[in-house]
Amino acid sequence: MDKSLTRRGFVKAAAAGSATLAWLSAGRSPTVFAAEVDKPALLGGAPVHKGSWPKWPEWRQAWEPDILKILRSGHWYRGSSGGKVPEFESGYAKLLGAKRCLATSSGTTALITSLHALGIDAGDEVIVSPYTFIATYNAVLIHKALPVFADTDPATLTMDPASVESRITDRTRLVLPVHIFGIPCDMDPINAIARKHDLGVLEDACQAWLAEYKGQKCGTLADAGCFSFQNSKHIPSGEGGAITSNSDEIVDRCYAFHNCGRANGTFQGRGCFTRGVNFRMQHFQAAMLLQQFDKLVKETAIRRSNADHLIDGLKEVPGLQPVRLPENSRAVWHLFPMRFDSRHFNGMSRNGFIRALRAEGVPCSSVYHEQYFDGLLDEAIASRSFQRLFSKKRLKDYRDSFEELKGNRQVVATTVGLSQNLLLADRGDIDHIIEAIRKIQAHSAALVKVS
């Protein structure tokens, strides 16, 4: 008999509370009955997945000669010319189909630099995706600007374009959508609203290397895009970041800001014409990144293929919903998110489901919480600078508006995320994820009592 059919039949029967009978009637000896095999691990059964998952990050011996060469040269920082950083910049721009790229020390510093280059100043407002890593909020706050939250569309986990226009005030200068988990935002309506109101658009593509929206790479769809190469990312160098843009002027402004305000390119000959910082990337980082372009392309294809397999498997699991992608778009799955509906799991909580799935050997998490209640925005609102820059009424309305982020609240309460390294596993291991989920669903009535 087909093993998967047997299992599916068993799972259905278990859901009806007759697992033992089903197994026995299928001719299994009581000695091999799934007391150990099919009982949820949280209830004392054996976990579905007993092995490990692919490690992250990974290095290759072939990278070592380049790193050693830089070490021995003494040319470690980004000087006036040459070296691995500019080589990385032209390679990354080409990989993405962008006109230009500037390497930075991190994704956060890429965002701070781009916001400066796009004219964000103290007292401005920037419309931001609330469902993101905290650095997106921080990059705006560091400029003493207000991150005003659009809502999240629960079907896509990205900025709901329909929520953007109502957030625009006479202080709004820019929209900052986030391609979270490498899921492309619906950029056409976002860009159209921005154009209508004469606003800039910056893509936070820090998790979206090679993601595609309508045939174009994320990071090339607006005024500029920002990337992170931090340790956990698909193309890591410990720390690192990049800005991509099709505008020479924007990249030259970014270059100047990230390099102590020194003029270059379009602004050549003007000395230190702007404020600046030191957010330069090191040649060591660039050498590591240059080695990983092919790896990134190959692994992206593997993650996509395994994500498609998971999406197919989840079709048979009511109550775990994959995200909807914009038409003609491709995600890169920095996390593979699923929306959990407890009604299909006998009222089991999302966190109970996570505990049960982890017990089956499948690492997963609830990902982001409602970070706007954490205190950083209250601290900003109470600071002298924000008190001077914004009216009391504006700051009160702003704070009150967090309560209205209904879509985001739903997303935060129901998302379960599998991290990207799981998607690099063999197909058999990916099947374990589906099997573990089915097992939990089948036994949810019993699990609900312990979770």
CB of 130 to ligand PLP, least distance (A): 12
What whole-number distance in Å separates Cα of residue 430 and Cα of residue 49? 10
Name which of 33 and 56 has its Cβ closer to ligand PLP: 56
Residue 118 near residue 174, CB atoms below 8 Å: yes
CB of 65 to ligand PLP, least distance (A): 26
CB of 112 to ligand PLP, least distance (A): 9
Count of C-beta atoms within a 10 Å radius of residue 383: 13
CB of 208 to ligand PLP, least distance (A): 8
Q: Considering only CA atoms, which of 156, 224, 143, 226 is closest in space to residue 191?
A: 224
378, 382, 386, 392 alpha-carbon torsion, rounded to 10° = 100
Q: Considering only CA atoms, which of 298, 254, 301, 304 is closest in space to residue 280?
A: 254
What whole-number distance in Å separates Cα of residue 422 and Cα of residue 181? 14
Name which of 39 and 334 has its Cβ closer to ligand PLP: 334
Name which of 17 and 238 has its Cβ closer to ligand PLP: 238
CB of 424 to ligand PLP, least distance (A): 19
Q: Considering only CA atoms, which of 144, 184, 145 is closest in space to residue 332?
A: 184
Name which of 368 and 386 has its Cβ closer to ligand PLP: 368
Which residues of this protein are in contact with ligand PLP, per CB under 6 A? 106-108, 132-133, 135-136, 178, 204, 206-207, 228, 230, 241
Beta bridge partners of 102: 243
Residue length, the chain?
451
Task: Look at the block and give the residue holding tokens 């090679």.
Answer: 210
Give the pair of three-digit tokens for residue 232. Answer: 């956990």
What whole-number distance in Å separates Cα of residue 14 and Cα of residue 374? 42
CB of 131 to ligand PLP, least distance (A): 9
Name which of 206 and 243 has its Cβ closer to ligand PLP: 206
What whole-number distance in Å separates Cα of residue 157 and Cα of residue 42? 30
Peptide bond into 40 cis (omega under 30): no
Name which of 230 and 245 has its Cβ closer to ligand PLP: 230
End-to-end Cα spacing for the chain: 34
Q: Considering only CA atoms, which of 320, 304, 334 is closest in space to residue 430?
A: 304
Name which of 206 and 332 has its Cβ closer to ligand PLP: 206
Tell me the three state secondary structure of residue 359.
helix
CB of 228 to ligand PLP, least distance (A): 3
Name which of 73 and 232 has its Cβ closer to ligand PLP: 232
Task: Look at the block and give the residue holding tokens 């091999």.
Answer: 32
Residue nearest to ligand PLP (CB): 107
CB of 326 to ligand PLP, least distance (A): 18
What whole-number distance in Å separates Cα of residue 195 and Cα of residue 199? 6
User: What are the E-state strand segments in 214-257?
Assistant: 216-217, 224-228, 241-245
Name which of 128 and 436 has its Cβ closer to ligand PLP: 128
Task: Look at the block and give the residue holding tokens 């312990």.
Answer: 450
CB of 125 to ligand PLP, least distance (A): 19
Name which of 125 and 239 has its Cβ closer to ligand PLP: 239
Pairing relation of β-strands 224-228 and 241-245?
antiparallel
CB of 179 to ligand PLP, least distance (A): 8
